[in-house]
Structure 1
């Protein structure tokens, strides 16, 4: 690959991160506004009912969705990269039909379980029809996911970002009046409208250039087999991760009570939801690009290395600011009571550089469609992290859990690197490892300075943020200059 192509990749990564980072911030803002209005108009009861309904919807979606939203991106990306329009039409048609299937399956399951869901969730039979009506949201979500996968796989990234932002805004505007005028009775209609409008916006922006392929049901089922198998592995892995998290929360509750669970959830949310925004944003562009070259190991290695370099460059200023500003962030997002998580945050943030490079390497398994190895590595990682969490909390409290977060990602990096290196010959390259080491050294220095000399930590943070912004700007506007 030439230097010009390398520079184009750096610029592509930077712009994709800005595009989807902005889209995610807009979507989160809409969600915050919606939640705030619901809390004001319906109170804690309304918020609780919505949460229970959404939990049921998400659970059934996870069980019946077969992971198609994520696994299908690989198939579409590979077809798009081949340049064979007939193959692309074939795969897109398969994805759309399977989306209809899992959507209808989810709806039927929810309708069938409506009486049980009402009793298990609310302890009565008064919400049976609520679950029956909400079954249509599973179909809307499935169709939405299929179209999003096609947009992502064909690299229609700007359209995908527009779907996210416009869908969130339109859904907010159309659903909020139902809460205001309908009160508690308006919850079910509002949830349906919210999902339907989001789906409609995505359908308006769907890739209309891909024609429908003429396939029989048997051909559709056979062609989707590999996609579904990978999706099932991903779904089971996600379920196990959630299960371990639940067991650890139950352990915390047994050991120290609900307040300990609250502290842990608050800290974990800060690390994964807010700091993790950049990971989710960059995955939208990185995954289909990597899947498109899944048969070219040297090029995959180059892409992995470049992705990690940019990840480290973007995360370094965020981590530096996080270290010096975390007390203010905790105070703004929670209350002074949650200062108890400060030590957890300071230790956990040190694991982000290891998470970035292991994340970059880990996508190789999804791009290759190696669901079995993906499942094994994720299971090992979850088991190790869970064990470290228990040991860390037993001996050091929340501070130990923060340390286990970092140690867990160090061990996961070793696991995923060895697995991808031995099976596929993937090597991120010297520049990538150097970028990772630079981030680790810089953030460790700021951490030590923050503990011993806070003023020095602020000075170092200012220098790092300024240099990182200059380098990112050069990557954005004139990447060739950065390579010289």
Structure 2
């Protein structure tokens, strides 16, 4: 019951505070769509993906390793570990920024088929340095499972950041994207440092010997987390470069806007999982009973929250896209309408994926990541080759279904994770409802009848979800 209370709290408290971040994100996307156009949004997507890939490669997995190593620790041991990761973040930030600066011309040529954006990567070297440090302060706060602090820090950073985004996008257009990344990086560093200081950790001195020993342990785990995470970033980068080369910036802009809607705006449950679920699982990884309870309730609460949201997006995707972006992005609607099923599959695969990260061996983590990132690229390129944007949507569904099935088998056979039959049945029936809704939306010719049927499904699903939430609150009380 205590674990259920924590899961629900992580979603309601952090998720509720995230709505302001969501509103800020909507404003930022709308400005990008109006002032930059589909090509500008395509450029934004590719430069952000490239930047995230550089950050991921050059941080050596330190943020994720920080969460794992600080979770459950206290006192002088905690203070020493914090001091170690602070020093490591500065060193990695300086090295990473220097590498980005030196290879700016090569990065521009390989990403955009031109050296015209060498200056952009030179400026991003500063952003990379700032990001390496701010991400560690964010991870330290997260390791304390202090959701309110973490959510408030994100909100403050986003509120201040949007004040700079407005003039930078308006006056500098596409170039403003680079300036914005730099400024937001500085804002995030300042804000997360301020919230980190509010936690009032002890000032610990650490010897050179202790620093070396702790660094080896933290970076040792971080290397494998980093390799796993960077394979995901690399596969996303390669796919976007492929789309750019063979489809152009307009198609990339439509793909990126659809991806943003499904993986950013429909992300409260996934944000809660990464912020709170992973530290709890890491802390209790040896308690199989507690872990199984965590997994089952995480899947259940995810179903309850996601099903009506995805059905809503399926029905009203065109309106949502016009509000978030503009009429120029309406081709994105069909991508969203098909790919919502993949997001639902992602709920199940992610719930089990965090167990693999927390409890699996390094070999298991790397081999799993390697297998599915190769599959990601192959399936999506094949989908794009066959049917363009629609093919990418179908590919997303196929990929997450395979990911779901494999993670279920792997965690069940190798890590003793048991998903209860009632959860499996519920998940199957809800997936079927979503699939039937997608088919109706795609094949029905009468738009009025189609909307009526789908709206009826949405209403009943929403009523069911509200009833389940009411029961959950009663259980916790």
Superposed, 1:181-196 pairs within 5 Å as 192-196=182-186
What's the CA shift for 1:309?
Answer: 0.8
The CA deviation string for residues 44-76 of structure 1, in whole angstroms up to 9 with x for no partner, is 999999999867754543332112122211111
Which of residues 434, 459, 471 in structure 2 aligns to 1:462? 459
Instruction: Return closer, same or farther for 1:447/1:282 CA change in 2, 3 Å cut-off.
Output: same
Q: Tell me whether 1:15 sits opposite 2:12 in the alignment.
A: yes
Task: Give the aligned partner of residue 364 of structure 1.
Answer: 355
The CA deviation string for residues 230-261 of structure 1, in whole angstroms up to 9 with x for no partner, is 33333333443344345445555666666554
Q: Tell me whether 1:64 sits opposite 2:58 in the alignment.
A: yes
Instruction: Return closer, same or farther for 1:27/1:368 CA change in 2, 3 Å cut-off.
Output: farther
Which of residues 388, 408, 412 in structure 1 aligns to 2:403? 412
Which of residues 80, 94, 103 in structure 2 aligns to 1:90? 80
Measure, in 1, the Cα distance between the counterparts of 2:378 and 2:42. 32
Q: Tell me whether 1:163 sits opposite 2:163 in the alignment.
A: no
Structure possessing the higher radius of gyration over alpha carbons: 1
Instruction: Report if the CA contact (8 A) 2:42-2:250 is conserved.
Output: no
Measure, in 1, the Cα distance between the counterparts of 2:69 and 2:157. 25
Which of residues 431, 448, 463 in structure 2 aligns to 1:440? 431
Instruction: Return closer, same or farther for 1:267/1:29 CA change in 2, 3 Å cut-off.
Output: closer
Instruction: Report if the CA contact (8 A) 1:23-1:161 is conserved.
Output: no
The CA deviation string for residues 291-335 of structure 1, in whole angstroms up to 9 with x for no partner, is 111221221121111111111110011111122112323444455
Task: Give the aligned partner of residue 240 of structure 1.
Answer: 231
Instruction: Return closer, same or farther for 1:192/1:339 CA change in 2, 3 Å cut-off.
Output: closer
What's the CA shift for 1:391?
Answer: 4.1
Q: Tell me whether 1:75 sits opposite 2:65 in the alignment.
A: no
Measure, in 2, the Cα distance between the counterparts of 1:389 and 1:208. 44
Instruction: Report if the CA contact (8 A) 1:327-1:339 is conserved.
Output: yes
Instruction: Report if the CA contact (8 A) 1:271-1:349 is conserved.
Output: yes
Q: Tell me whether 1:345 sits opposite 2:336 in the alignment.
A: yes
Instruction: Return closer, same or farther for 1:17/1:471 CA change in 2, 3 Å cut-off.
Output: farther
Which of residues 179, 201, 204 in structure 1 aligns to 2:191? 201
Instruction: Report if the CA contact (8 A) 1:16-1:285 is conserved.
Output: no
Measure, in 2, the Cα distance between the counterparts of 1:91 and 1:287. 19
Instruction: Return closer, same or farther for 1:362/1:33 CA change in 2, 3 Å cut-off.
Output: same
Measure, in 1, the Cα distance between the counterparts of 2:174 and 2:242. 34
Instruction: Report if the CA contact (8 A) 2:105-2:115 is conserved.
Output: no
Superposed, 1:218-237 pairs within 5 Å as 218-237=209-228
Deviates further, 337-346 or 266-275: 337-346
Superposed, 1:321-332 pairs within 5 Å as 321-332=312-323
Measure, in 1, the Cα distance between the counterparts of 2:105 and 2:382. 42
Instruction: Report if the CA contact (8 A) 2:262-2:340 is conserved.
Output: yes
Give the TM-score taking structure 1 as reference length: 0.81
Measure, in 2, the Cα distance between the counterparts of 1:164 and 1:85. 27
Instruction: Report if the CA contact (8 A) 1:69-1:149 is conserved.
Output: yes
Measure, in 1, the Cα distance between the counterparts of 2:172 and 2:379. 48
Q: Tell me whether 1:149 sits opposite 2:139 in the alignment.
A: yes
What's the CA shift for 1:287?
Answer: 1.3
Q: Tell me whether 1:354 sits opposite 2:345 in the alignment.
A: yes
Structure 2, unpaired ranges of 5+:
none
The CA deviation string for residues 98-154 of structure 1, in whole angstroms up to 9 with x for no partner, is 2122122223334545677789888479949x93x7644433322211111111011
Task: Give the aligned partner of residue 401 of structure 1.
Answer: 392
Measure, in 2, the Cα distance between the counterparts of 1:394 and 1:177. 39
Measure, in 1, the Cα distance between the counterparts of 2:357 and 2:400. 19
1:224 match: secondary structure: helix
Instruction: Report if the CA contact (8 A) 2:383-2:392 is conserved.
Output: yes
Instruction: Return closer, same or farther for 1:267/1:239 CA change in 2, 3 Å cut-off.
Output: same
Q: Tell me whether 1:99 sits opposite 2:92 in the alignment.
A: no
| Aligned residue pairs, count | 468
What's the CA shift for 1:157?
Answer: 1.0
Question: How large is the Cα RMSD of the aligned pairs?
Answer: 3.9
Measure, in 1, the Cα distance between the counterparts of 2:167 and 2:328. 35
1:214 match: secondary structure: coil
Structure 1, unpaired ranges of 5+:
none
2:155 match: secondary structure: helix
Measure, in 2, the Cα distance between the counterparts of 1:181 and 1:351. 38
